A and B are shown apart, each in its own frame.
Chain A
Amino acid sequence: MSQVFEVVGSVFVVLGALVFASAALGLLRFPDTYTRISAVGTAGGVGMALVIVGALSLQPTVPDAFKAVAIIALQLATSAVGSIAIARSAYLTGTPLYEPRFDELAEESDPDEREEARLAREERETPRDVE
C-alpha cells in the first residue's frame, strides 16, 4: 500500500514541476504582459497544488492532510488575486496588448487617461543620459 502512495506522490510532484516548467517556457515565448501573467498565475496555483498533493502522498499523515487542504485553498486564492492585481495595474498603466482581436475594456475606459499613463511609463523607462 505504501508503494502505491509513493508512486502516486512521485507522479504528482513531477507533474507539478512540469507545470512550472511550462510556465517558464510561457514566460519566454508568450508575446505580451497579459499572456505571461496568465502563465505564471496558473503555475503558481495549479503547480503548487500538485506538488503539495504529491508531498502529502509521499508522507501521508492525518494532520498533514488538513494542512495540505489549507495550503492549496490559500495558494489558489492568493495566486489568482495576485495575478488579477498585477494584470489590472498593467492595464491601468497603459501596457499595450499584443495584436488584440477585440478589446471591450478599451471601449469603456478613458483613452486620454490611458495614453497619459502610457507616456508617463515610457518616460520612466527611457534611460536618461548620465552626466
Chain B
Amino acid sequence: MSWVTWPVRIVGLALWFAKEIVVSSAAVLRDNFTPGQNSTPGIARLETRCRTDLEITLFASMITITPGTLTLGTDVVGDEQTRVLYVHGMYAADADALRAELRVMENKVLHAVRREGARS
C-alpha cells in the first residue's frame, strides 16, 4: 500500500512547505517593515533521524529555503552514525524552541521521502 500513498505524501509535503514559507515570510517581513530589530538569533544543534544523504540534504535545503532559518553545517557522530545539523534561527526564543520547530519539519520530510513512511 505504501507505493500508492508515496506520491500523495510527497505532494502533501510540497503543499505543507509552501504554507510554511508563507507563514515564516510573514514573521520576517513584519520584523523588516517595523522599526528596530526583534530577532533573537542563535545556533541550535539538532540530532536528526535522517539515514541517507538524500534525506539530510533535502532537510537541510528546506531549512535554508524557509525564511528565518539557515543551515550552517552538518556532522556525523557516534557509533550509530547520527547525522547532526547546525541551524541558525532568527526568531526562536531559545535552542529548544528552534529544535521543536525543526522536529515538526523533520517528521514531515521523513514521512514523505521514505516509501514505507516514518512515524515519530
Contacts and interface: CB of A to CB of B under 8 A. Distances in A.
Interface of A: 19, 22, 25-26, 29-32, 34-35, 37-39, 41-42, 45-46, 76-77, 79-81, 83-84, 87-88, 91, 97-106, 108
A80 B64 CA distance: 6
Interface string B38-50: 0111111100000
A45 B61 CA distance: 10
Given A35-B90, A38-B90, A88 B72 contact: yes
16 contacts: A26-B32, A29-B32, A35-B41, A38-B68, A38-B90, A41-B65, A46-B65, A83-B64, A84-B60, A84-B70, A98-B41, A100-B42, A102-B42, A102-B44, A102-B94, A105-B45
B29 interface: yes
B40 A101 contact: yes
Contact of B88 (A46, A80, A87, A108): A87
B107 interface: no
A111 to B, nearest CB: 14
Contacts, number: 112
Interface in B62-120: 62, 64-73, 75, 86, 88, 90, 93-95
B42 A76 contact: no
B5 interface: no
| B interface majority secondary structure | mixed
Given A46-B25, A105-B45, 4 more contacts: A32-B41, A79-B65, A102-B42, A102-B95
A42 to B, nearest CB: 4
B28 interface: yes
B20 to A, nearest CB: 11
Interface residues of B, number: 35
B41 A104 contact: no
A31 B75 CA distance: 27
A108 B25 CA distance: 31
A12 B4 CA distance: 32
